[in-house]
Homo-oligomer: A and B are copies of this chain.
Amino acid sequence: MNFTERLQHIQSQQRSLLCIGLDTDEAKLPPHLRSEKNPVLEFNKRIIEATHDLACAYKPNLAFYEAMGERGIAALHETVTCIPKSVVTIGDAKRGDIGNTAERYARSLFDDFGFDAITVNPYMGFDSVEPFIINPEQGVFLLALTSNPGSKDFQRLKIGTKPLYEKVVRTAKKWNTQHNIGLVVGATHPSELKSIRIIVPDMPILIPGVGKQGGDLKSAITFGNNKQGRLAVINASRSILYASSGKDFAEAARAEALKMVEEMRQFGKW
């Protein structure tokens, strides 16, 4: 089963488009966890236990773990191990380098950490993406139009009459011969998301930026999904992880995740 089919299947099984972004920040952990040997790992485990039946994916952000040094890397390894196979793991690494280097990143992210998919920056072109898409079961989400303010600096520049991000979208579609490439499109750009879904009717779209960053959930779902009501992967991080800073953090995270999933279920075809 290629990555896109597996993701669509998992979304149907879980009846969820929710991706929980594990941007776990030590400084924001509930105080009672600080005495744990590895508080970040303990926190992630509890979040995963409390939410795994509500999510289609977890997306650890590598920067947060790398910033903690060795302990962070160990926590990330263990975290990936704790995620059940009924859910997809996405390593949010935004890597991108020449072929012989990209091969190393692929080895690290797919073989060593064991992610099912990763995020990749397209700027360096095909040979920087190729090593990540060899195995059709492993997926890549290419940055197209990101959720941040800086997305206007280069991604929206016009190539002829069309913006650069659209060129990335059309090129990714061409590269997607193994059905394992998706795109990253911020929920902060709903009308662009709508046009992108028309160009790529059947590619996964990872959609960050709902909530704190200002993106709207309903338009992310309506415009991001394919005709079967799948393949929009709606990311939420801080709103779920830090729903409570008390001993009830995991229950509060579940309640917040459930609220989002119930809203999603109103708009999808379930």
Interface set of A (CB-CB < 8 Å, partner B): 23, 61, 63-64, 66-67, 69-70, 73-74, 92, 94-102, 104-105, 107-108, 112, 121-129, 143, 146-155, 157-160, 164, 167-168, 171
Contacts of A150 in B (CB 8 A): 98, 124-129
Contacts of A108 in B (CB 8 A): 63, 66-67, 69
The reply to whether B124 and A143 form a contact with Cβ atoms under 8 Å apart is yes
The count of identical subunits is 2
Docked pose: A128 CA to B152 CA in angstroms: 12
A123–chain B nearest beta-carbon distance, Å: 4
Extra inter-chain contacts (9) besides given A66-B105, A128-B148, CB under 8 Å = A66-B108, A67-B105, A92-B97, A122-B123, A123-B154, A124-B151, A125-B151, A154-B171, A157-B164
| A127 (CB) vs chain B CBs: closest residue | B150
Given contacts A63-B102, A148-B128, contact A122 B69 (CB under 8 A): no
The reply to whether A154 and B122 form a contact with Cβ atoms under 8 Å apart is yes
* Set B64, B96, B104, B123: member contacting A101, Cβ < 8 A: B64
Contacts of A122 in B (CB 8 A): 123, 153-154
Given contacts A123-B154, A124-B151, A153-B125, contact A146 B98 (CB under 8 A): yes
A215–chain B nearest beta-carbon distance, Å: 13
Q: Return 27 A-B CB contacts under 8 Å, by A number.
A: A63-B101, A63-B104, A63-B105, A63-B108, A66-B112, A67-B104, A67-B107, A67-B112, A69-B108, A69-B112, A73-B73, A94-B95, A94-B96, A94-B124, A99-B148, A121-B124, A122-B154, A123-B143, A123-B155, A124-B150, A125-B150, A125-B151, A125-B155, A127-B149, A128-B148, A154-B164, A158-B160
